[in-house]
Copies of this chain bind each other. A is one copy, B any other.
Amino acid sequence: LTLPIAVDAMGGDFAPKEIIAGARRAVDELGLSVILVGVPELMGDPLGLDVVACSEVIAMDDDPGASVRKKKDSSLVRAAELVRDGKASAMVSAGNTGATMASALLRMGRLPGVVRPCIVTPIPNPGRTPVVLVDAGANAECTPEMLVQFAQMGSTFVATRYGVGSPKVGLLSIGEERTKGTPLVKATHELLDGMSTLDFVGNVEGRDIVPSPVDVIVTDGFTGNVALKTLEGAFKFVFSTILEVIGTNDDTKAAGDVLLEYLLPFASRLTPESQGGAMLLGVNGICVISHGSSNATATMNAIRVAAEASDEQIVAKLAATIRPDQVA
C-alpha cells in the first residue's frame, strides 16, 4: 500500500488553481496518489481529488515561526502532520518557504544528530546529473559543523536521487586556495578536508555553479540563496532578451522559428518549473519546497520528486548519513 503525497493546495503565487491542476496531472499522467490539503471554501473545484479540509492559510508574507505557532489548522501545518502521522509519504508546498520549513521541522522533527535542516536545490548541469546547492536558503547563519552536515546530506541526496557513486563535493568560496574566504569557509574547508567519507575536491567559485565540475556545492543559506537567485535572474534576463531580439522584424522572427526549436528545450531545463522543487533535508520526513511561481507542470514535477524520494527511502538514507555520536 503506497501512501499518498500531501499537497498544500493553498500555497504559491498561482494557488489553488494551478496547484490542484498539477496534482490532478500527477494522478492522471504519473499514476501517483495525492491528497490535497486546503480550505474547501477557497479551493474551488478539487477536480475529484481527495481533500483534507483545514480552516486556515499561511500567507506568503506571514512570519514563518509565528504563523506556524498560531495557525495550527493551516494547510501547511496539517500537511506536515499527515507525514508525521504516517498518513502521507511526503508533503509538497509552493507556499511561504520559511513557514514550510517551520511546519516540517516542528511537526516531523529533526533526524537524530542533525544540527539544522537545510534546503537542497538541484541545478541543471548539462551533460551530467544536476549539481545540488546546499544550503539554498534555510539558514542565513551557519557554523562549520552545520556546513559539514550539509555536505554529508547533499552527498547522500545526490547518490540516492541521481545514482552518483561518489559525489564530488565543492565548497563555495572566492578562490581555489584554502586560505580564501570567510572564517566560516576556511574552518569548513579544514573539516571537510579531513573526512574520509566524502569526496571533497576543495573550493569552487561562483562561475563553477553552471556548468559545474562537482555534484554538490556546499555553502551557507545566505550565500546559497543569493547565488541561486542571481542565476535565476541572469537566465530569465537573457532568455527574455533573446525573445525580444527575435521579435525585431520579419527576418529575425523567421530565424527565431528555426532556432527556438533547439533553444526552448534548453531554456526549459534551466527554468525553476522543470526542476520540481527543492527539498528540506534533515527532518524526519519528506518535504518538497516548490518555487513560489509554480504552475501545474511544476507542481506535477514536485509531486513526482516527492514520490521518487519516498520510493528511494531518502529519509532512512539521510538518517544513516548523520551519526549523532560524531556531531562536533
> What is the CA–CA distance of A207 and B225 in the complex, to the nearest angstrom?
10
The answer to whether A226 touches B258 (Cβ under 8 A) is no
The answer to whether A258 touches B251 (Cβ under 8 A) is yes
In the complex, which residues 217-256 of chain A have their Cβ closer than 8 Å to any Cβ of chain B? 219, 221-223, 225-238, 241-242, 245-246, 248, 251-252, 254-256
The answer to whether B207 touches A229 (Cβ under 8 A) is yes
A164 interface residue per 8 A CB criterion: no
The answer to whether A140 touches B238 (Cβ under 8 A) is no
Chain B residues whose C-beta falls within 8 Å of the C-beta of A255 in the assembled complex: 254-259
In the complex, which residues 167-183 of chain A have their Cβ closer than 8 Å to any Cβ of chain B? 172-174, 177, 180-183
The answer to whether A209 touches B233 (Cβ under 8 A) is yes
Cross-interface CB contact of A174 among B137, B206, B257, cutoff 8 Å: B137
In the complex, which residues 190-224 of chain A have their Cβ closer than 8 Å to any Cβ of chain B? 205-211, 219, 221-223
> What is the CA–CA distance of A2 and B163 in the complex, to the nearest angstrom?
64
The answer to whether A174 touches B259 (Cβ under 8 A) is no
Distance in Å: Cβ of A21 to nearest Cβ of chain B: 26
A308 interface residue per 8 A CB criterion: no
The answer to whether A206 touches B235 (Cβ under 8 A) is no
Distance in Å: Cβ of A135 to nearest Cβ of chain B: 11
Distance in Å: Cβ of A289 to nearest Cβ of chain B: 14
Distance in Å: Cβ of A217 to nearest Cβ of chain B: 11
- For the complex formed by this chain, how many copies does it contain in all? 2
A266 interface residue per 8 A CB criterion: yes
> What is the CA–CA distance of A194 and B326 in the complex, to the nearest angstrom?
46
A316 interface residue per 8 A CB criterion: no
> What is the CA–CA distance of A251 and B248 in the complex, to the nearest angstrom?
19
> What is the CA–CA distance of A205 and B180 in the complex, to the nearest angstrom?
24
With A226-B172, A245-B262 already in contact, the answer to whether A207 and B233 are too (CB < 8 A) is yes
A interface residue numbers (CB < 8 A to B) = 61, 126, 137, 140-141, 172-174, 177, 180-183, 185, 205-211, 219, 221-223, 225-238, 241-242, 245-246, 248, 251-252, 254-259, 262-263, 266
- Inter-chain pairs besides A140-B181, A207-B230, A254-B255, 18 sampled, C-beta below 8 Å: A172-B226, A173-B222, A206-B226, A206-B228, A206-B230, A206-B233, A207-B229, A207-B233, A209-B230, A222-B223, A226-B227, A234-B235, A245-B259, A245-B263, A245-B266, A248-B262, A255-B255, A255-B257
- Top-8 shortest CB links A-B: A206-B229, A207-B233, A206-B230, A255-B255, A255-B258, A234-B234, A174-B225, A206-B226
A sample of 22 cross-chain residue pairs with beta-carbon separation below 8 angstroms, ordered by A number, consists of A137-B174, A140-B174, A140-B185, A141-B182, A173-B222, A174-B222, A174-B225, A182-B222, A205-B229, A206-B225, A206-B227, A206-B228, A206-B230, A206-B232, A207-B233, A207-B236, A209-B233, A230-B230, A242-B242, A245-B263, A248-B262, A252-B259
